[in-house]
Amino acid sequence: MTKRYVLLVMAVFLAVSLSGCGCFYQQMKGETPPPAAPPAVVTPPEAKTPVPVAPAAMALKDIHFDFDRYNIREGDAAILKENMNWFRDTANTGKKVRIEGHCDERGTVEYNLVLGQKRADSTRNFLVGLGADGRLLETISYGKEKPVDPGHNEEAWAKNRRAHFQMMQ
């Protein structure tokens, strides 16, 4: 009787443990889980120095990410620093910007939505660290649903792993 009880408790514990894990469902569907994402690396800005104001018509440039990553790379940090000129321009004071997180076509819909949100959030956090008003920055994830390049190769995937800026006003 006690062996049956122990086995029953162990079986229930195992079932409950696996039911909360998305990896279990991926394995059931024949998918392999993606690797764990690394911690976000937000490089603090250097000493704040005056930056020349950019023209009001300047567009914000997209940044890109490595496969299964959401940390800001050095080259993309430079792009975000250039984008800060738009935020500092008095013609853009109070304007809201949506930061859209995007992924390539690989991985599940759920995984890519989470990764896209992490990409948008890390981009927002970096800009706030540079002095942007966080109340005017909104984030959203589109995962793999809105590719900029419909190709099915590394070149297309690299273009699709991005944070895109959309003016709200």
Examine the pLDDT at 24 and tell me if it is beyond 90. no
pLDDT at position 99 is: 97
| Residue 168 pLDDT grade (very low, low, confident, very high; cuts 50, 70, 90) | confident
- The rounded percent of the chain whose pLDDT value lies above 70 is 67
Are 19 and 60 within one domain?
A: no
Are 24 and 50 within one domain?
A: no
Quote the number of domains for the chain.
Answer: 2
Are 106 and 57 within one domain?
A: yes
Rounded mean pLDDT, 106-117: 96
Residues 51-67 pLDDT 10s? 444 444 458 999 999 99
Are 21 and 88 within one domain?
A: no
Q: Which domain holds residue 49?
A: 34-167
Strands 97-102 and 162-167: antiparallel
pTM, whole model, 2 decimals?
Answer: 0.66
- The rounded percent of the chain whose pLDDT value lies above 90 is 60
Residues 143-154 pLDDT 10s? 999 999 999 999
Rounded mean pLDDT, 14-25: 53
Can you tell me the distance from the alpha carbon of 74 to that of 133, in angstroms, rounded to the nearest whole number?
Answer: 22
Can you tell me the distance from the alpha carbon of 145 to that of 47, in angstroms, rounded to the nearest whole number?
Answer: 39
Are 44 and 5 within one domain?
A: no
Q: What single letter denotes the amino acid at residue 18? A: L
Examine the pLDDT at 130 and tell me if it is beyond 80. yes
Are 6 and 41 within one domain?
A: no
Are 58 and 138 within one domain?
A: yes
pLDDT at position 13 is: 60
| Residue 117 pLDDT grade (very low, low, confident, very high; cuts 50, 70, 90) | very high
Are 20 and 50 within one domain?
A: no
β-strand partners of 64: 162
User: What CA–CA distances, in Å, run from 37 to 40, 60, 130, 153?
Assistant: 9, 27, 24, 22
Are 152 and 71 within one domain?
A: yes
Average pLDDT, the chain: 81
Residues 66-102 pLDDT 10s? 999 999 999 999 999 999 999 999 888 899 999 999 9
Rounded mean pLDDT, 97-122: 96
Are 19 and 38 within one domain?
A: no
Are 92 and 134 within one domain?
A: yes
Are 3 and 50 within one domain?
A: no
